[in-house]
Structures are given as structure tokens and as C-alpha cells.
Amino acid sequence: MNEDTLQGNWKQFKGKMVEQWGKLTDDDFDVIAGRRDQFLGKLQERHGIARDAAEKQLKEWQDRHPEFRFKD
């Protein structure tokens, strides 16, 4: 996947992620920028959950949205 496709997909899926994790802000998504580790860290921070819980939630979300993949 090239960088333009990734950026387009990121904007598209950002809205779906906000539906799932409403405490994440636009600024958070700017920092995350499609990177998995950054996303997990912000998810832990904003929702007050442990790393393993964040990873479980992300895996469940990605199972429902298999077309989306982080860049790292």
C-alpha cells in the first residue's frame, strides 16, 4: 500500500474509530497518524485501560474492519 492510499484510508477509518472510541480527539489522531503503537498508547491514556485490554479492543475492531491496517 502506498502512502497516498494509506492517508486516504486513515481519514476514512478515523471516523469509524471515533464511533468506537469517542474519547480520542482529532489531536490524538494527528499524533497517531496510522501508527499502531501510537494508537494503543492513546487508547490506554484516554480510556484508562491496560495495554492488553487496548490490544484486545483493537483486534476486535480490526476483525470487523479487515480492510484497515496500521502502517507499523
User: Would you identify the CATH topology of the domain 3-64?
Assistant: Protein Yjbj; Chain: A; (1.10.1470)
Q: What is the pLDDT of residue 28?
A: 92
Query: Which residue is it, cell 487508547?
Result: 43
* DSSP codes joined into one string, 1-59: --HHHHHHHHHHHHHHHHHH-TT--HHHHHHHTT-HHHHHHHHHHHHT--HHHHHHHHH
pLDDT in tens, 14-67: 888 888 999 999 899 888 888 999 999 999 999 999 999 999 999 999 899 888
Residue 43, burial from CB neighbour count under 10 angstroms (0-12, 13-18, 19+)? buried
Work out the mean pLDDT of the chain and round it to a whole number.
Answer: 85
pLDDT in tens, 53-72: 999 999 999 899 888 878 76
Residue count of the chain:
72
pLDDT band at 7 (very low <50, low <70, confident <90, very high): low
